[in-house]
A = this chain, B = another copy of it.
Amino acid sequence: MKESLDFVYKEQKELSTLGGIAALLGWDQMTYMPKLGVVERSEQSALISKLIHERVISEKFWQHIQNLSTNLDNLSENDKAVVKRLEEDIEKSRKIPSEFIERMSKTTTLAYQAWEEARGKNDYNVFSSHLEKIIDLEKEYCGYINLPGHKYDSLLDDYEEGMTVEKLKHEFSFLKKELIEILEKIKSSPIYENQKEIDVKLSEESHRKICNVVIEKMQLPKEKARLDVSTHPFTTSMGNDDVRITTNFRRGDLLFSFFSTVHEAGHALYELNMPRDEFKNTVISDSPSLGLHESQSRFWENMIGRSKPFWKLFYPFFKEESAHLYNNVTFDEWYRYVNQVKPSMIRVEADELTYCLHVILRFELEVGLMEDKFSVNSLPQLWNEKMDEMLGITPKNDVEGVLQDMHWSGGSIGYFPTYVIGTIYAAQLFKKLSEENPNINSEIENGEFGNILMWLREHIHKYGRLMAADEIIKNTCGEGLNSKIFVNYLKDKYSSLYEV
């Protein structure tokens, strides 16, 4: 027993060390790597993935886990939790051949490069043959995992354990109907008809300055985290004390870099507060699902970041960077602008209301691909049709259509739904927090985020993977995933903003 425990903890630690190395290889590729480094980088990433996978599925590791698993009663509560989670993980991993992982890793590194090229040339064909290979690999993968029910469930499960197409179709069809209804109402409002962009461009330096203020206010520690620039914003961890977030200072978009920084900082705060001490470098020190992870970023981005008290705090920082804002734009105009609803092409630039429709579109396409109902070649056209159906607009080219997200190039099929799951969870958490803390608005307005952070730590962060995501939400909010809470939140917010 002692020998098995020692081995299992040591192996988890080395695996988590290798995981940190893999994260650095990925982060560098997206931020600083010179362009032509990509071929060697794909070999480096593939090798680390292979080393990890070999160790994860090694017979010796499995035997030690089995040895512990058949003697659970003799273990401490903590060891029991670790061994149970580990057994489930490893059992799943052992279903995937190492050779497959390497193939997938090489394919996706090249596919990412092709996706970038396709975007540069606005030519879907540059990317489509790579995407076809990826879809084939995903189907092969489903064959290995082979969960009962829908094929797509085997993909979903990697990101949102226990989630199924059946449950999602149920939640998403309700949500889609409601969102379209709210959108139609808004569109019929005179406020919508008269709404305008605020025509202000800030320099990259100004954007950078404000982004650094917000992560400081959110108490992201400088000595453990940093903000860099990449095409697509993301968060990654090299370890418990080294978390990196990125943003993109797009000129001409007044709020993009700010909101993506707030979003990623929400992820980063979760990463930095994963269970330590006895659970450090174990399977427990991680998030139980991407949906729950996304609940943290969405919570900060939407529930806090688009709220009125938050802008009482932050509008002055924007005003300081622009004379036009200072002289011509009232707080009310600004607050409406920040929450403006406007159907648009790009998911990551979408407003809070239409965002989920972008994701539901991708979910429908992915499920269709896995059911062989849709072909890879038909995606651009299907994309455009669904944009018209849900948002009433049509992309003028594939760069603002089917080529906009990098996810598919990375082999992440089944990932998108977690954005909506997280958004719904965030609304549920915010409702609960507001009930428990009646001073929340004044705290936000004063930039006092300590209580909010502590509440998230206590109710979400500290559990790591000790429970499933839905269980953690149930524990805190009294029920699991419930999109009605989110719909009610939206109805409240927009009926007041658009007087409908």
Contacts and interface: CB of A to CB of B under 8 A. Distances in A.
A182 B18 CA distance: 54
A240 interface: yes
B223 A35 contact: yes
A400 interface: no
Interface string A1-34: 0000000000000100110110011001000111
Interface string A229-250: 0000000001111110000000
A37 B228 contact: no
Contact of A36 (B17, B34, B224): B224
A47 B10 CA distance: 12
A147 interface: no
Q: How many subunits of this chain does the assembly comprise?
A: 2
Interface string A376-413: 00000000000000000000000000000000000000
Contacts of A32: 32, 226, 228
Give the bracket for the number of chain A residues in contact with chain B: 35 or more
Contact of A43 (B17, B39, B40, B225): B17
A141 to B, nearest CB: 25
B21 A25 contact: yes
**Main SS at interface, chain A:** helix
A39 B228 contact: no
A37 B17 CA distance: 12
Nearest to A240: B40
Q: Name, among A40, A43, A225, A228, the residue most crowded by chain B CB atoms within 10 Å (CB to CB).
A: A40
Contacts of A239: 37, 39-41, 44
Contact of A37 (B37, B43, B224): B224
Nearest to A31: B32
A48 interface: yes
B44 A225 contact: no
A241 B17 contact: no
A329 interface: no
A222 interface: yes
A51 interface: yes
Contacts of A225: 34
Interface of A: 14, 17-18, 20-21, 24-25, 28, 32-37, 39-41, 43-44, 47-48, 51, 221-226, 228, 238-243
Given A20-B40, A24-B28, A41-B239, 14 more contacts: A17-B43, A18-B47, A21-B25, A24-B24, A24-B25, A28-B28, A33-B242, A34-B226, A34-B243, A36-B224, A36-B242, A37-B238, A40-B238, A40-B240
